[in-house]
Structure 1
Amino acid sequence: MSKYQYIKQSAYEANMQLPKLNLVLFTFGNVSAADHDLGVFAIKPSGVPYEYLSPEKMVIVDFDGNTIEGDLRPSSDTKTHAVLYKHWSDINGIVHTHSTYATAWAQSQRCIPIFGTTHADYLTVDVPCAPPMNDEMIQGNYEYQTGFQIMDHFEKKGLDHKEVEMVLVGNHAPFSWGKSAEKAVYNSAVLEAVAHMAYLTEQINPQAKRLQDSLIKKHFERKHGPDSYYGQ
């Protein structure tokens, strides 16, 4: 058995959740699962329909984007995953989708406003939207530069990737991450739900106001604060 079997299994199971959660159409998405001790991650092969996936078809790649094990080409977004893993050593799962509502906000080049308590259960800020990539970066190593596009935006805005585990890439689509591939998928589903709710909110009331600070603090801290009391 391959020493990478468990991350292959993790990546496979996480990828199979994307169509179940209606986060992907056809092959529009990918999940990876990393092992920082081994310096590698497992990722979906490029362009393979989800119904044909298996743990054995996951491709093992190092944090420089080189294929270490596997007969298939890795996802076209592999270098973005590699950059994020190389620089953010505390994440072990990354998801990229083109889910409808999150992608619509990305295409609109807009952050998702924190309108309600559902959003505040997970974030204390708007979902960030990184600006579109400039021409020089696009014409260079595009997928590699996408990773830096995300990281540079977080640095510029003073955001902590351990607290804000999701981003929109302007004119492109969403990425999410977490301590595991499973958690990254969870965050991707939350992002799509929040994006959908925010879209509907603006349709119902174009002048809708952001959630007041006291409610943001209350809802986030009851789940994540030192005195959290949500759940068992």
Structure 2
Amino acid sequence: MSSKYKSLKEECYEANMQLNALNLVVYTFGNVSAVDRANGVFAIKPSGVPYEILKPEDIVILDYDNNIVEGTMRPSSDTKTHSFLYKNWDDIGGIAHTHATYSVSWAQAQRDIPIFGTTHADHLTADIPCAPPMSDDLIEGNYEHNTGIQILNCFKDKNISHQEVEMVLIGNHGPFTWGKDAAKAVYNSKVLEVVAEMAYLTLQINPSAPRLKDSLIKKHYERKHGKNAYYGQ
């Protein structure tokens, strides 16, 4: 593959293949993108291409206005959501979207995922937010672009930072995650799915299970994040 975007395409391809390897997608229902801020473009999986035949050269390169810069296939149907987030959050490097079972179940229930345990607190200190279902006028408009608006409005309304909470559920739809690069976005997708499953099982065992107390949230988050972190090498 000869392309000035070769490394970007390969990053995007590997992240998409990891999404599949982690059992976060069903058939072709999912996508990952990776951004190149220096060149003002991002790479994304082509729409509807099965993972078993996907190749790095199939990855589509677009600018932030959704114009195809390089590629012969149609990009993911969620492309406009990705571009909207890249334009509005200039510090993120990758975005992932899945239809993973437990994450989607919480989205369909239109519920935030409560912080019940330390696995959740290892990654973030807040409930995982669920944006309300999209209004009819937005659905009838530029739907995928408006999904990006839906995400930003959710974070504004709940007074949440996208830098601290790198994941969201879209009511009746499913999850989006992001991070410093495409690999981190996929990592966050897996974390979200695991936490969603644990929270579901917790409520089956004890429907009145309490949220994790603040002292444990603080301890578990800070031992992995921040200047005094001591987890890992």
Q: TM-score, normalised by structure 1?
A: 0.99
SS at match of 1:224: coil
Aligned partner of 2:15 in structure 1 is: 14
Give the 3-state SS of the residue equivalent to 1:174 in structure 2: strand
Which residue is 1:72 aligned to?
A: 73
Corresponding residue number in structure 1 for 2:139: 138
In structure 1, the residue matched to 2:172 is 171
Deviation at 1:94, TM superposition (A): 0.2
Residue 228 of structure 1 corresponds to 229
Q: Return the offset for 1:3.
A: 1.3
User: Aligned Cα RMSD in Å?
Assistant: 0.6
Partner of 1:118: 119
**Residue in structure 1 matched with residue 211 of structure 2 by the alignment:** 210
C-alpha displacement of 1:208: 0.2
Q: What corresponds to 2:220 in structure 1?
A: 219
- The structure 1 segments of at least 4 consecutive aligned residues displaced by more than 3 Å after TM superposition are none
Per the alignment, residue 47 of structure 2 pairs with 46
Distance 1:37 1:127 in 2: 31
Deviations 1:15-61 (A, max 9, x none): 00112101001001000010111111000000000011111000001
Cα distance in structure 1, aligned partners of 2:6 and 2:35:
12
Deviations 1:63-122 (A, max 9, x none): 111111100000000000000001111111000000000000000000000000000000
Structure 2 counterpart of 1:157: 158
Give the Cα–Cα distance (whole angstroms) in 1 for the partners of residues 64 and 153 of structure 2.
18
- TM-fit CA distance, 1:152: 1.1
Matched, 1:4 2:24: no
Structure-2 separation of matches of 1:196 and 1:94:
21
Letter in 2 for 1:116: G
SS in 1 for 2:115: coil
Aligned-residue offset at 1:8: 0.3
**TM-score, normalising length: structure 2:** 0.99
Deviations 1:188-211 (A, max 9, x none): 000000000000000000000000
Q: Aligned partners of 2:28 and 2:110: how far apart in 1?
A: 24
For 1:106, the equivalent position in structure 2 comes to: 107
Q: Aligned to 1:65, what secondary structure does the other structure show?
A: coil
Letter aligned with residue 108 of structure 2: Q
What residue is the counterpart of 1:191 in the other structure?
Answer: 192
1:225 deviates by 2.4
Aligned amino acid, residue 157 of structure 2: K
- 3-state DSSP class of the match of 2:43? strand
Q: Look up the match of 1:28.
A: 29
The answer for unaligned runs of 5 or more in structure 2 is: none
Give the SS at the match of 1:171.
coil
Question: What is the identity percentage for the equivalent residue pairs of Structure 1 and Structure 2?
Answer: 69
Where does the alignment leave 5 or more consecutive residues of structure 1 unmatched?
none
